[in-house]
Amino acid sequence: MSVRILALVGSLRAGSHNRQLAEAAVKHAPANAAVEVFEGLADVPFYNEDIDVEGSVPAAAARLREAAGEADAFLLFSPEYNGTMPAVLKNAIDWLSRPYGAGALTGKQVAVVGTAFGQFGGVWAQDDARKSVGIAGGAVLEDVKLSIPGSVTRFAETHPADDAEVVASLTEVIRRVAEQPVAAA
């Protein structure tokens, strides 16, 4: 049986290198894992407890929670915006953290990876995402990391799925996420 890994991409841009990295994860996932990219983060409203009411949760947020509930583990792809993770990724984490102590992330393995233009590949953003998702209840794989620097030049003419070094590293990340999924609490 394959481990179901839900990928959340923190960039909404059509040509996003993080989106391409997520596509590479889908394409090159090892046989024991199935990676699915969640579509629709742009439609999820900002988290607000006033609208997070049973029976009237916005449809886009409900779809996110449903997809996350069906996942065994998560792979977050984060670019770096002004030294931290993008709002769309933080918002997804906020929605998935509720209800408090029993959200869709609770007890499930999470790895955070990504690429960014800068020389460190977005490590600050990825560290912030790890912190946030850990507080939200995810079982963060702190030692499973992949930060690819210089995305604009590195992927100018090559899709991440066609970069042998990236594929090898990404496949190892997915293997580690799928290795021992934690049972949800």
Alpha-carbon dihedral sign for residues 63, 65, 71, 76: positive
Contact call for residues 110 and 140 (beta carbons, < 8 A) = yes
Which amino acid is it at 177? V
pLDDT band at residue 185 using 50, 70 and 90 as cut-offs: very low
Strand order in the sheet with 109-115: 33-37, 3-9, 73-77, 109-115, 139-148
Reply yes or no on whether the pLDDT at 184 is more than 60: no
Q: At what angle do helices 87-96 and 123-135 cross, to 10 degrees?
A: 20
Reply yes or no on whether the pLDDT at 120 is more than 70: yes
d(CA 43, CA 175): 30
Q: Which residues contact 139 (CB under 8 A, 6 or more apart)?
A: 107, 108, 109, 110, 182
Reply yes or no on whether the pLDDT at 183 is more than 90: no
The CATH number of residue 61's host domain is 3.40.50.360
Residue 83 structural domain: 3-179
User: Could you report the per-residue pLDDT of 139-175, keeping only the tens digit for each?
Assistant: 999 999 999 999 999 999 999 999 999 999 999 999 9
Reply yes or no on whether the pLDDT at 176 is more than 50: yes
Q: Rounded to two decimals, what is the model's pTM?
A: 0.95
Largest CA distance in the chain: 47
Contact call for residues 75 and 150 (beta carbons, < 8 A) = no
User: Could you report the per-residue pLDDT of 95-118, keeping only the tens digit for each?
Assistant: 999 998 899 999 999 999 999 998
Nearest 10 degrees: CA dihedral of 145, 149, 155, 160? -10
For residue 77, the number of C-alpha atoms closer than 13 Å in the C-beta half-sphere is 29
Number of domains in the chain: 1
Evaluate whether residue 75 is within a structural domain. yes
Evaluate whether residue 184 is within a structural domain. no
Evaluate whether residue 94 is within a structural domain. yes
Evaluate whether residue 185 is within a structural domain. no
Evaluate whether residue 131 is within a structural domain. yes
For residue 100, the model assigns a pLDDT of 87
Residue 99 preceded by cis peptide, ω within 30: yes
As a whole number, the mean pLDDT across the chain is 95
pLDDT mean over 59-70: 98
